[in-house]
Chains A and B, each alone.
Chain A
Amino acid sequence: MYKDTVLPSVLEQVVNCKDELAQFYLMECIIQVFPDEYHLQTLETLLGAYPQLQSTVDIKTILSQLMDRLSNYAASNAEVLPEFLQVEAFTKLSTAIGRVIEAQADIPIVGAISLHVSLLTFTLRVHPDRLDYVDQVLGSCVKKLSGKPKLDNRATKQVVALLSAPLDKYNDIVTALRLSNYPRVMDHLDNQTNKVMAMLIIQSIMKNNTLISTADKVEVLFELIKGLITDLDATTVDEVDEEDFSEEQNSVARLIHMLHNNDPEEMFKIICSVKKHIMRGGPRRLPFTVPSLIFSALRLVRQLQGQDGDVVGEEVPTTPKKIFQLLNEIIEALSSVSSPELALRLYLQCAEAANDCDLEPVAYEFFTEAFVLYEEEIADSKAQVTAIHLIIGTLQRMNVFGVENRDTLTHKATGYSAKLLKKPDQCRAVYACSHLFWVDDQDGIKDGERVLLCLKRALRIANAAQQMANVARGSSGPVTLFVEILNKYIYYFEKGNPQITSATIQGLIELITTEIQGDSTSALPTSDPFFTSTLRYIQFQKQKGGILGEKYESIKV
């Protein structure tokens, strides 16, 4: 009865009164007074009346109210959803909105967008599985936005609401990625808001632990977040706040770890896609984004390790070698934007990975690059100390090198160690190099003589440092370096280096004792806790007995 009698006559009254205030009020009443099921069934009639109202009536608000009520109705009761489909609610509403926007051509853009927001909310509640509907709403919004000047704050807020709705609804960002009009809506945001939106997208992915698993989806994603990946226009450099920028780039860096597929071929495609995008980031962004990509690729290398690449079919499968080539290119880009320390570390990581894949020339190449950076770009003395230790530590673990290559690299490492700025640093780096000649593995190198040469060299440097301290301060410096070297002698003594005898150790102990007593005869050997604990260790080993106990027997502490 409502449908056939009540509503038509009520509407006729409303239209005929031709008073805008009354019309608005009455339309609102109709929506609020009658139950939602009625509205659903009479949708066509109801919507049909709107264009007939006075042109100054705020139809948008009425339409929004209607859609919001219907959205809530759908949300409250899942059983009514089929009814929505039956009456083709979406199509009718969508058409009605189109008509309203067309009729009120000078509607402020905020109004048009908020209408779309209401319709989108409605669609997400009633037809969440109909991505085509959602995309349609976005598309209609794009049409409305094109050709318009920059959006003001309120309009921008509405657009952000429009874009956030699918994110919140579909926890899986992959669904949002399938909306072809989504990036087009984003394009209409100003740069700042675009970046805010991009951050929201990334946060949605991180929060829901979503994995993006194909190169195609990665492409779409990077299109959406392009505001963070490159400078959208040339002028923004100065205006960017340091902290905000870091936060944005670190988010992108974290995001890279969510791009993953267990299939090596697809994963390689993903890596290539990411590389392409981050390479456009410019010098300020690369130090943030490159490391993530490198490690993502190294994980793939490890996955491929040991998999024999049997070429099946025409496609050449992804091999570690191919990946290393890519890695080299990426790290090279980093070296040219003044992050030599980071680049050096990444080269060393790749060298180790190449070692594990048995690729000697590749590993050697990475070491060469690392040394070049060390020689030419790393000037700060503290940075040099860390860098040389990283080189030594990595080289010590390499087992892929033949004698010639290994000799060249160890020679370089020891050479640079001895040339560090401060004597104590030289001393420590040189005795660290001793480990390059002694690897505990079964077939590891065990060159006792060269070990001893390193330790003796370290001793000479320690002596020189001691003399310099004498000259400068008139008293001997701390004996720390000597005790450290003593500990190293003990290390190799226990490992069975024939070049190091108990006499050697005894001699060193006496040297240190003399040094400590150097200026004041009252100084006890126990005044240096490090020396004391070292002697205590020897005592402990003696008392332990067994093979080691025997070795230590002749040493007097």
Chain B
Amino acid sequence: MVLVLALGDLHIPHRAPDLPAKFKSMLVPGKIQHIICTGNLCIKEVHDYLKTLCPDLHITRGEYDEDTRYPETKTLTIGQFKLGLCHGHQVIPWGDLDSLAMLQRQLDVDILVTGHTHQFTAYKHEGGVVINPGSATGAYSSITYDVNPSFVLMDIDGLRVVVYVYELIDGEVKVDKIDFKKTASTHTAH
């Protein structure tokens, strides 16, 4: 069982002062094995905070990030799964599943995690799964109205991944989960 925290679009301090208190109390150091962050933290303080939660931190560049050295995309392998990470402002039209699917094919990954729209989504399609963890602070978005703070926790176990989404709605944390199973026949490229 490998726990991967996926979050992003915090936009601290431009659009939000901090993570919601209820999220902060849930995110405890030492429980999570990997953190993947879609970007738009935006400042070093947030980077340092995430690093205290888990040293294996992966971040891609959002258009407001103070640190411009984060990569545009990143791929990593966790267990049987190949994950891809990208903020998403580079994929036009923003939030368009078919265009994101193209990125998924290009990165050759099972799970693609992107952000930018501040709207939690999890789509399963031919190539795999596309997940958007939303905005962990519920930051203002020109694309999505009424953003609820949200983040995603993935539990990777063999060929199965359970995606837990945590959303703060009216002051209460609501959890939902989605199951994905990868077919054993992996696509090999020579």
Contact = CB atoms under 8 A, between A and B. Distances in A.
Given A389-B90, A393-B94, A206 B145 contact: no
A247 B112 CA distance: 34
A527 interface: yes
Interface stretch (B15-23, B28-36, B152-160, B174-182): B15-23
A258 B13 CA distance: 11
A130 interface: no
Interface in A335-376: 342, 345, 349, 352-353, 356
Nearest to B142: A352
B145 A302 contact: yes
B10 to A, nearest CB: 12
Contact of A487 (B43, B93, B105): B105
A67 B96 CA distance: 69
B92 A393 contact: yes
A423 interface: no
Contacts of A154: none
Nearest to B105: A533
Contacts of A389: 89-90, 92
B135 to A, nearest CB: 12
Contacts of B21: 209
B105 A353 contact: no
Given A299-B140, A527-B190, A537-B105, A253 B13 contact: yes
B64 interface: yes
Q: Which of the listed residues B11, B12, B92 has the most CB atoms from chain A within 10 Å of its own CB? A: B92
Given A250-B13, A295-B14, A533-B187, A435 B105 contact: no
B114 to A, nearest CB: 13
Contacts of B64: 291, 342, 345
A456 interface: no
A536 interface: yes
Contacts of A435: 92-93
A386 B90 CA distance: 7
Interface residues of A, number: 56
Interface string B81-96: 0000000011011101
A298 B43 CA distance: 21
Please report whether the interface of chain B is mostly helix, strand, loop or mixed according to DSSP. Answer: loop
Contacts of A292: 13-15
B17 A393 contact: no
Given A250-B45, A527-B189, A534 B105 contact: yes
A254 interface: yes
A6 to B, nearest CB: 56
B106 A484 contact: yes
Given A345-B64, A487-B102, A257 B17 contact: yes
A363 B105 CA distance: 36
A527 B15 CA distance: 45
B142 A353 contact: yes
Given A257-B16, A386-B63, A393-B94, A349 B142 contact: yes
A494 interface: yes
A491 interface: yes
Contacts of B96: 440
Contact of B108 (A246, A527, A529): A529
Contacts of A536: 126, 187
Contacts of B15: 257, 291-292, 295
B170 interface: no
Contact of A524 (B90, B106, B190): B190
Interface string B51-75: 0000000000001100000000000
Nearest to A434: B92
Interface string A279-312: 0000000001001100100110010000000000
Given A257-B17, A435-B92, A527-B190, A494 B98 contact: yes
Nearest to B44: A246
Nearest to A352: B142
A530 B190 contact: no
Contact of B187 (A291, A342, A386, A532): A532
B58 to A, nearest CB: 20
Contacts of A483: 106
A480 B98 CA distance: 18
A396 B13 contact: no
Contacts of B98: 491, 494
Counting from the closest, the 3 A-B pairs by CB-CB distance are A253-B13, A529-B189, A352-B142
Interface of A: 206, 209, 246-247, 250-251, 253-255, 257-258, 288, 291-292, 295, 298-299, 302, 342, 345, 349, 352-353, 356, 386, 389-390, 392-394, 396-397, 432, 435, 439-440, 480, 483-484, 487-488, 491, 494, 524, 526-530, 532-534, 536-537, 540-541
Given A253-B13, A345-B64, A480-B106, 10 more contacts: A254-B17, A288-B13, A291-B64, A295-B139, A342-B64, A389-B89, A392-B92, A440-B96, A534-B105, A541-B126
30 contacts: A206-B18, A257-B17, A292-B13, A292-B15, A298-B140, A299-B140, A345-B64, A352-B142, A353-B142, A393-B93, A396-B92, A396-B93, A397-B143, A435-B93, A439-B93, A440-B93, A440-B96, A484-B106, A488-B102, A494-B98, A524-B190, A527-B190, A530-B105, A530-B108, A532-B187, A533-B127, A534-B105, A537-B105, A537-B127, A540-B126
Interface of B: 11-18, 21, 43-45, 63-64, 89-90, 92-94, 96, 98-99, 101-102, 105-106, 108, 126-127, 139-140, 142-143, 145, 187, 189-190
